[in-house]
Amino acid sequence: MRRPKRDNAESQRRITRRALLLGGAQAGFAGLLALRMRFMQVDQADEFRLLADENRINIRLIPPARGRIFDREGRIVAENTPSYRITMVREQAGDVDQVIARLAQLIELNPEELDRAMRDLKQLRGDTPVTIADRVSWDDLSRVAVNAPALPGVTPEVGLSRRYPERDNLAHILGYVGPFSDRDLERVNAPEQLLRIPRFQVGKIGLEARQEEVLRGKAGTKRVEVNAAGRVMRELDRVEGNAGADFQITIDSELQAYTHARLSTESAAAVVMDCETGDLLACVSAPSFDPNLFVRGISQTDYSALLENKYRPLPNKTVQGVYPPGSTFKMVTALAALDAEKASTETTVRCPGHLEVADRKFHCWKRGGHGNMNLHASLRESCDVYYYDLALKTGIENISAMARRLGLGIKHDLAMTSVAKGLAPTKAWKQEVKGAEWVIGDSVNAAIGQGFVLSSPLQLAVMTARIATGRTVTPRLIKSIDGVEQPTGYGEDLGLNENHLRQVRKAMFAVSNSRRGTAYGSRVAIEAMQMAGKTGTSQVRSAVVNNNDVPWEQRDHALFVNFAPYDNPKIAVAVVVEHGGGGSKAAAPIARDITLQALYGEDPPLSAYPSKDRGRIRAQQERMRRERLEAAAKEESDRA
């Protein structure tokens, strides 16, 4: 059937309109394409000329500056210093061995460092910068920069490296940083890309490790243009990261240095604590080590020397070391008995030199006995039999509960690694851990801080501060973060009878200031600065043998705790001298000297010491003053 002429004309008009529209659209698109091509070929010709010949854009991370650490007076104790290094990107270098050979002709390469770099170049992604030489001199850096065209993929860089100006004085508190390792990678669930930068430094131990994420900061990024030879042509843009937070710790670095010097010849630990706030003013483990040695990887020789030292310089004895507290624990037993109303301050016990319990004799340190003892005299002269008797009346559950109340047998929350919990034993603990029933002899031993009882020097300082104040003072290490003050450890009321605490404090005062006191030889001569303390001797062997007749490793530990001034307690001190013998001879003199240094804030006057000690103290002060000047000169020289 033939269509009418009218329909054919209408169809023809529609086809013509569609053709015109389609043609117009094609013409417009072609025009836009032509304009774009002109823009790219003419207006952007210079930019695309640089991107030609296999040029490409790389996005690189900018490591953030690590947060600095200051002491309580604002002295810097951990800082970042410029460090020059040479890096290489494998896929930009081409023939890696050939480039390394050229580089070796310009600068001296450390064989161990080079071997480590070669492993990284093989194992890591081809676009990852790997450090070939670290801590190079400015002259070496300049030679590499001048010869950059002949060293494809090699880049001289300026970075930051951690430095600890106080060296061994604060090593156990601050810890140190080191390259992020495979072992570190295993402990992180989803490591950020920043951590994968070869030899990126992270905290390994101490405050550096415990506050790693806050100190590390956030990485920035930069876009750089490199040519076919891997040479950076220019930086296109940069987004700066965020530096890590600055920390201020409660430690007084000058008191810390003095305490470290005072302990320098011993295997020992000392803690100085502010009774008001709980601030740790000094926390020294001796001997120590230089954390700067670990920052870039310690040599095997240096590390072996630390491991083989019988005085164990690597562990932090102040929080990690746990010891039987010996007679310093007697205040705990006394307060437990008083609080449980199993004894009074006037309770008298006769000491004949031993107490027979379950067909076994438990001896007093004074073989001939002390005679009739009350609470005051028993603490003053450290009579063991008195506390054996209290243990039988009071029971281990009450004694251990009081120990925890005073800060023993609990793990204190501090930004340090390996903080020990210690042990305030109970019947249930022995059954669970030892698989045995508690016996009465266990309670007798625990009453004088022996047997299963264990405590750290930090815990002993906390115990002393709580007795001095009657509050649950808790230790604080971090004073502020980026200027924001952190909560203090002031604490609440212990809930103990104030008269009981007063009687225990008076007895501790007699320990240091009565002629019959076990620490009278280490008293303070100036009345306003007098201290109250308690000696302790911790047995490390069962046989009763004179300490001078056995090797150093088998001698008793010496302990001393104190607070001062007696009338207005400001600081609490705990000292443990490993295998030092008696607390009155080895630990008490050290604690007295540290106490006076902390109270005066400088070398105390000789009048603060008994006349018999003044010649020795004068010589000691002069020696330490010379050592401080020598250390300051060395630090200045290293900075230069």
Percentage of residues in the chain having pLDDT higher than 70: 89
pLDDT value, residue 53:
43
CB 364 within 8 A of CB 383: yes
**CATH class assigned to 253-286+319-476+491-601:** alpha beta
Percentage of residues in the chain having pLDDT higher than 90: 61
> What span, in angstroms and rounded, lies between the C-alpha atoms of 569 and 276?
8
φ/ψ (deg, to 5) at 29: -60, -45
CA distances to 353, 381, 382, 383 from 366, in Å? 6, 10, 9, 8
CB 68 within 8 A of CB 248: no
> What span, in angstroms and rounded, lies between the C-alpha atoms of 273 and 337?
27
pLDDT value, residue 517:
97
**Cα dihedral: 348, 350, 354, 360 (round 10):** -70
Residue 118 CA, chain-centre distance (Å), reads: 33
CB environment 206-226: b (16+ within 10 A), e (fewer): bbbbbbbebbbbebbeeebbb
Could you read off the pLDDT of 341-379 as tens digits, one per residue? 999 999 999 999 999 998 899 999 999 999 999 999 999
pLDDT value, residue 505:
98
| Of the candidates 318, 306, 311, 316, the residue with the CA atom closest to the CA atom of residue 270 | 318
Residues 6+ apart with CB under 8 A from 197: 61, 63, 128, 129, 180
Enter the CATH code of domain 58-249.
3.90.1310.10
Q: Please, which pLDDT band fits residue 191 given cuts at 50, 70 and 90?
A: low
Could you read off the pLDDT of 397-456 as tens digits, one per residue? 999 999 999 999 999 999 999 999 999 999 999 999 999 999 999 999 999 999 999 999
Res 54 pLDDT > 50: no
> What span, in angstroms and rounded, lies between the C-alpha atoms of 461 and 282?
11
CB environment 233-254: b (16+ within 10 A), e (fewer): eeeeeeeebebbbbbbbbbbbb
Could you read off the pLDDT of 225-284 as tens digits, one per residue? 766 555 666 767 777 778 899 999 999 999 999 999 999 889 999 999 999 999 999 999
Q: Please, which pLDDT band fits residue 545 given cuts at 50, 70 and 90?
A: low
For 527-627, where are the E strands, in sequence order? Answer: 532-538, 557-564, 571-577
Over residues 327-335, the mean pLDDT reads 98
Res 12 pLDDT > 70: no
Over residues 23-42, the mean pLDDT reads 74
The residue type of 306 is L
Largest CA distance in the chain: 143
> What span, in angstroms and rounded, lies between the C-alpha atoms of 170 and 286?
11
Q: Active-site residue among 327, 400, 455, 522?
A: 327
Name the residue with higher pLDDT: 86 or 215: 215
Q: Identify which of 64-68, 296-300, 324-328 has the greatest average pLDDT.
A: 324-328
Q: Please, which pLDDT band fits residue 198 given cuts at 50, 70 and 90?
A: low
pLDDT value, residue 25:
76
Res 513 pLDDT > 50: yes
Is 161 designated active site? Answer: no
Over residues 517-525, the mean pLDDT reads 96
| CB neighbourhood size of 412 (10 A) | 21
Predicted TM-score (pTM) of the model is: 0.86
Res 141 pLDDT > 90: no
Could you read off the pLDDT of 267-313 as tens digits, one per residue? 999 999 999 999 999 999 999 999 999 987 788 899 999 999 999 99
Residue 9 CA, chain-centre distance (Å), reads: 95
